[in-house]
Amino acid sequence: MTEFLAAVLANPFLQSALLGGLLASVGCGVMGTYVVVRRLGYIAGGIAHTVLGGMGIVYYFGGPPLWGAVGAALVAALLIGVVNLRLREHEDTLIGALWATGMAVGVLFLSRAPGYNLDLMSYLFGNILLVAPGDLATMALLDGVILAAVALCYRPFLAVAFDEEFARVRGLPTEPFFLLLLCLVALTVVLLIQVVGLILVIALLTLPAAIASQYAHSLRRIMVLATLLGTGFTTAGIGVSYGPDLPSGATIILVATFCYMLSTVYTQLRRRAARKAASASAGASAGIGKAAPPAKGGAGNPGGAP
């Protein structure tokens, strides 16, 4: 660990990687909470794999792949959202089709592009060590859009996430807010692709929020704790992978998964112990009540002993 800290101070690319992990953690902490609460993991997976098509097309025509990822993610989010609202019985079919089509289109345009592009492969498998200053600026911009939208629409998003039917009965236009929520999830997917690649993006989007929800019970607290956990996972993953030269994205996911498993086991044991303690306390109270019969006689009982 000392070697890694010294390397961070000496190497700008490691500093950029840590900053990229922090920026990605903000998005995954905030929007990952909605994904976990609203159970949008499958939709987010469909969006993530559709992104490769947009990246391949834009790269083929000489543009920056990241902006192709943004465009493809937003289009996929809107398509899936409309189908979810209008034709829910076809939602799984559409997500599967977009999932496969996006990957196929991306591979097709990538194969026709001149030469072999390592950067595009890093988007597929993730390599936070290759994050460029321009990518950091784009990530910061996307974070700003996400935070501003959540701050402005916090209560409508809260209603859509927890009780959409009740919100609709109260007159809230839930459909536009649901589509906006999916668009923000799409932007978060693009953020995380920089860190772990589109193959592993769902894990980093959901695991910090899932762990946070085991300890915090309000949406704001879950978001804050998930952001801190995401920052810790990315930093620890980079640190662990640096010495043995392991893939950083995969290492980050393994660290997060290990922590999630430990947290789940701990919370289950804690709940079981709490139930046993509550049962024992209830049994003891019942036993005391049975062992203490009502008193007979005394100053307040004229019919007692003479």
Q: Which of the 8 DSSP states describes residue 261?
A: H
Arithmetic mean of pLDDT over the chain = 83
Q: Is the separation of the CB atoms in 53 and 105 below 8 Å? A: yes
CA distance 190 to 142: 9
Q: Is the separation of the CB atoms in 121 and 193 below 8 Å? A: no
- Domain 8-273 fold: ABC transporter involved in vitamin B12 uptake, BtuC (1.10.3470)
Tokens found for residue 224: 């804050």
Q: 115: pLDDT confidence band, cut at 50, 70 and 90?
A: low
- Using DSSP's 3-state secondary structure scheme, residue 54 falls into helix
The vertex-155 CA angle with 38 and 256, nearest 5°, equals 40
CA distance 226 to 254: 17
- The residue extents of the domains of the chain are 8-273
pLDDT at residue 299 greater than cutoff 50: no
Q: 221: pLDDT confidence band, cut at 50, 70 and 90?
A: very high
Which tens digit of pLDDT belongs to each residue from 150-183? 999 998 888 888 877 777 777 788 888 999 999 9
Rounded to an integer, the average pLDDT of 194-200 is 79
CA distance 57 to 86: 29
The vertex-64 CA angle with 48 and 185, nearest 5°, equals 30
CA distance 208 to 225: 8
Q: 265: pLDDT confidence band, cut at 50, 70 and 90?
A: very high
Q: Is the separation of the CB atoms in 110 and 56 below 8 Å? A: yes
Rounded to an integer, the average pLDDT of 225-243 is 91
Q: What percent of the chain has pLDDT over 70?
A: 89
Which tens digit of pLDDT belongs to each residue from 242-251? 888 888 888 9
Q: Is the separation of the CB atoms in 5 and 14 below 8 Å? A: no
Q: What percent of the chain has pLDDT over 90?
A: 26
Lowest mean pLDDT among 143-147, 235-239, 262-266, 276-280: 276-280
Supply the DSSP string of 103-147, one letter for each residue.
Answer: HHHHHHHHHHSSS--HHHHHHHH--GGG--HHHHHHHHHHHHHHH
* Predicted TM-score of the model (pTM): 0.83
User: 230 burial class (0-12, 13-18, 19+ CB within 10 angstroms)?
Assistant: buried
Q: 99: pLDDT confidence band, cut at 50, 70 and 90?
A: confident
Tokens found for residue 105: 């289109």
Q: Is the separation of the CB atoms in 240 and 231 below 8 Å? A: no
Q: Is the separation of the CB atoms in 232 and 203 below 8 Å? A: no
204, HSE (Cβ side, Cα atoms, 13 Å): 40
